[in-house]
Amino acid sequence: MQFSSGRGATLMALVSYAVVTGLGFGCTSAETATGGNGGNGGNGGANNGGAGGNGNVGGGTDHWMPVVEAANIVSTVDDAIDAAPDPDGTMIYFIGQTRAGVGVFRVSVEGGAPDPLVVGDPFVDPRGIVVSHDEQTVYVADTQAGSGGALVALNLTDMTAAVLPVTEGLSPTAVEIRELGEQDQIVFAGKTARGTPAVFTLAEGGTQVSVEQTQGLVDPDGIAVGRDGSLYVTDRGAGAGDGVVLHYEGGPMPILVDANLTLGTPAGIAVLTDDQAALTSALDPATGTSQVAITFLNTGVHAVFDETIGANHASGGLHRSYRHNVYAWAGRTAGVYRVKVSPPVESSTFGGVGG
């Protein structure tokens, strides 16, 4: 993992592993690193306590490097564009393509053959997927389903899928679930009838779609919900580069979280259960290989995780399970992955950045 920041930072420990399509078994052991003082130098800093170099962080103590474990879980479904775990992180639901058409599939996080749930109609161009907190429904954002694009609800009891008529014409691109009192709320990105990029809300079982946000949006492509119900949105068209991460805390204007990313397609995003960091699906701007960017929200420190998933050349969606720091990530060229992030270590404190 590589870190970069211009400020001092308090970083959590990250012990991550991915369950991946197309690779055999393998792992790397955990390392405890004590940083040096930062500044010019070689390969010190976060790696072995010397002077910082190559963008690693100097100074600080007790940072756990990632542990990555890989296993083949899916090999028969192409172009996995988005994936989401169930609330307990035991099953992964994902959008994929087979000879029979595009549809929704399910696989255990431990691997095995994927189970096709609904393939073909009503799906046309599904882009985003999420599982309801009661585990009864999978919601899919489809830019062309119904008339002008719509959300599709897949009933996990009878395995039937139907367009939600109230969302037709809104060209949904991403979808997430937000806990709102005793009733969950569907949050999704798309466009209004007049073509204005927006984030919408719809109560589960409801009949009224509301526009929640439009400010700062150009091409919203991913949504995550913070512990306080605030929204994190990736936008591929905003900013001067290759997209941005925005945070809507309740007011109309967003806070810029990160503008130094080459976002995936779709630009999946998830937030740790303690809201300390946002994970964003991205690409290495130099090599074009896949990575997950980790932005620590209280400091602005930026890290990159690419172990195992770097085998991909196209990054897709990213979602966290409702109850745990277990994530599903879609690698569009090599399959579906599980990524797990460890709890934070409160004593992990970093100083200056190496050259």
Q: How many Cα neighbours within 13 Å face the side chain of 239?
A: 20
By three-state DSSP, how is residue 137 classified? strand
The DSSP secondary-structure symbol of 144 reads S
Cα dihedral sign for 39, 40, 41, 42? positive
* Position 76 confidence tier, pLDDT thresholds 50, 70, 90: low
Longest dimension (CA), the chain: 61
- The string of pLDDT tens digits covering residues 134-184 is 999 999 999 999 999 999 999 999 999 999 999 999 999 999 999 988 889
Q: Which two tokens stand for residue 76?
A: 């028969």
pLDDT tens profile 97-143? 988 899 999 999 888 889 999 999 999 999 999 999 999 999 999 99
Task: Answer whether 290's CB lies under 8 Å from 270's CB.
Answer: no
Chain center to CA of 298: 19
| Range of lowest pLDDT (25-39, 152-166, 189-203) | 25-39
* H or E segment to which residue 133 belongs: none
CA gap 137, 152 in Å, rounded: 10
**pLDDT score, position 283:** 95
Per-residue pLDDT, averaged over 26-53, amounts to 36
| pLDDT for res 77 | 77
For the stretch 241-250, pLDDT in tens is 789 999 999 8
Cα(321)–Cα(83) distance, integer angstroms: 11
Is the pLDDT at 267 greater than 90? The verdict is yes
> Percent of the chain having pLDDT more than 90?
55
Confidence class for position 58, pLDDT limits 50, 70, 90: very low
- The residue type at 138: V
Question: What is the C-alpha to C-alpha distance for residues 306 and 312, in angstroms, rounded to an integer?
Answer: 10
